[in-house]
């Protein structure tokens, strides 16, 4: 896998479309494979650099922030990017807002590729909340054993609900100072099998699950496990989107890139 830190990944010889895919999601990896197989397109995947060992992609990768709207606008112009697909995680609100502003400034068309959010089924016990602070409050006053399946970002918000006994699952180690006082950290990168999620929640005597409404199939097993065990799920809603044209379809993203 090629990881580009500063040099351009584009070949100037071929007069074809130049796609910037803002990544960090499974959708971005699937799109990378499709772009790499299409001779009309050149592409680069951009990652924030949050994980020390990013998953392989079929396109070159650049890593690290652009430097806000100004930096991203400069990148789009200097690299002569013809199309931008924002395939970041639905909770990565800042980069999506930056992409909207930078694409408008640089005159580059933008498409948001994201997964549909989950909806509760009849036997689900969801409490839907707007953000982490509301999730911490929704756990209630009485101490509970809580599975925090939100990643390491935002875990400090649960220090305000210090009475609970947390099980936090992360890919990368969190900062110790961010953790609530009673918190066990376990490491794992999905997708997770339903039977493993059920076993984990049963073994740790979990009473409530806190998760973001990320959507998609790969992270859904924890929701099914909570349903099977009759557990409360505190479901954190997605941040508001910036109003850019949005699709859930890889085919639609490819059609956009070919337009």
Task: Decide if residue 92 touches ligand NAP (CB under 6 A).
Answer: yes
- Tell me the CA distances in angstroms from 18 to 10, 169, 204, one per residue in order: 8, 37, 49
Size of the site for ligand NAP (CB under 6 A): 25
Q: Which residue has the tokens 């970002």?
A: 153
Q: Which is nearer to ligand NAP, 82 or 153 (CB)?
A: 153
Q: Does 132 bind ligand NAP (CB under 6 A)?
A: no
Minimum Å gap between C-beta 214 and ligand NAP is 7
* 23 counts as binding ligand NAP under rule CB under 6 A: yes
Candidate list 14, 37, 67, 121; residue touching ligand NAP; CB under 6 A: 67
Q: Where are the alpha helices (DSSP H) in the chain?
A: 26-36, 68-78, 93-106, 132-138, 194-203, 221-229, 250-258
List binders of ligand NAP among 197-236 (CB under 6 A).
Answer: 212
- Taking alpha carbons only, the member of 222, 145, 153, 162 closest to residue 190 is 222
- At 29, give phi and psi (nearest 5°): -70, -40
Q: Which of 44, 84, 95, 210 binds ligand NAP (CB under 6 A)?
A: 95
Query: Quick check: 129 and 236 in contact, CB under 8 A?
Result: yes
Sheet of strand 83-86, all strands in order from the earlier edge strand to the far edge: 3-4, 61-63, 41-47, 17-22, 83-86, 110-113, 246-247
88 binds ligand NAP (CB under 6 A): yes
Instruction: Choose the stretch contacting ligand NAP; rule: CB under 6 A; options: 43-51, 123-131, 173-181, 188-196.
Output: 43-51
Chain positions 149 to 168 lying near ligand NAP, rule: CB under 6 A, are 151, 153
Q: In terms of C-beta density within 10 A (0-12 exposed, 13-18 middle, 19 or more buried), how is residue 127 classed?
A: middle
Identity of the residue, 152 or 164, whose beta carbon is nearer to ligand NAP in the bound complex: 152
From the list 23-31, 115-123, 201-209, 249-257, the region that binds ligand NAP by CB under 6 A is 23-31
The answer to whether 19 touches 42, Cβ cutoff 8 Å, is yes
188 touches ligand NAP (CB under 6 A)? no
Characterise 83 by phi-psi region: left (phi > 0), alpha (psi -120 to 50), beta (else): beta
24 binds ligand NAP, rule: CB under 6 A = yes
111 lies in the binding site for ligand NAP (CB under 6 A): no
Supply angle C-alpha 12, 246, 21, rounded to 5.
Answer: 30
Q: Is 65 in the site for ligand NAP (CB under 6 A)?
A: yes
Q: Does 116 bind ligand NAP (CB under 6 A)?
A: no
Residues that bind ligand NAP (CB under 6 A): 22-25, 46-48, 50, 65-68, 71-72, 88-89, 91-95, 98, 151, 153, 212
């Amino acid at each position: 896998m090629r990881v580009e830190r500063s040099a351009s990944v584009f070949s100037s010889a071929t007069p074809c479309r130049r796609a910037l895919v803002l990544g960090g999601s499974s959708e971005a990896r699937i799109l990378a494979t499709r772009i790499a197989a299409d001779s009309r397109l050149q592409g680069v995947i951009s990652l924030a650099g949050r994980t020390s060992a990013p998953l392989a992609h079929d396109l070159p990768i650049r890593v690290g922030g652009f430097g806000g709207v100004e930096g991203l606008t400069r990148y789009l112009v200097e690299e002569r990017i013809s199309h931008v697909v924002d395939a970041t995680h639905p909770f990565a609100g800042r980069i999506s807002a930056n992409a909207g502003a930078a694409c408008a400034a640089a005159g580059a068309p933008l498409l948001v590729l994201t997964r549909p959010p989950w909806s509760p089924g009849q036997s689900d016990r969801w409490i839907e909340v707007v953000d982490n602070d509301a999730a911490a409050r929704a756990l209630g006053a009485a101490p509970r054993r809580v599975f925090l399946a939100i990643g390491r970002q935002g875990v400090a918000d649960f220090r305000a609900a210090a009475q609970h006994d947390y099980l936090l699952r992360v890919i990368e180690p969190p900062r110790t100072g961010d953790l609530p006082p009673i918190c066990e950290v376990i490491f794992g990168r999905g997708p997770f099998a339903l039977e493993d999620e059920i076993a984990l929640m049963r073994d740790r005597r979990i009473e409530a699950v806190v998760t973001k409404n990320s959507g998609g199939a790969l992270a859904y097993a924890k929701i099914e496990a909570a349903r099977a065990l009759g557990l409360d799920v505190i479901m954190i809603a997605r941040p508001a989107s910036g109003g850019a044209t949005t699709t859930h379809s890889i085919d639609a993203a490819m059609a956009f890139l070919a337009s």
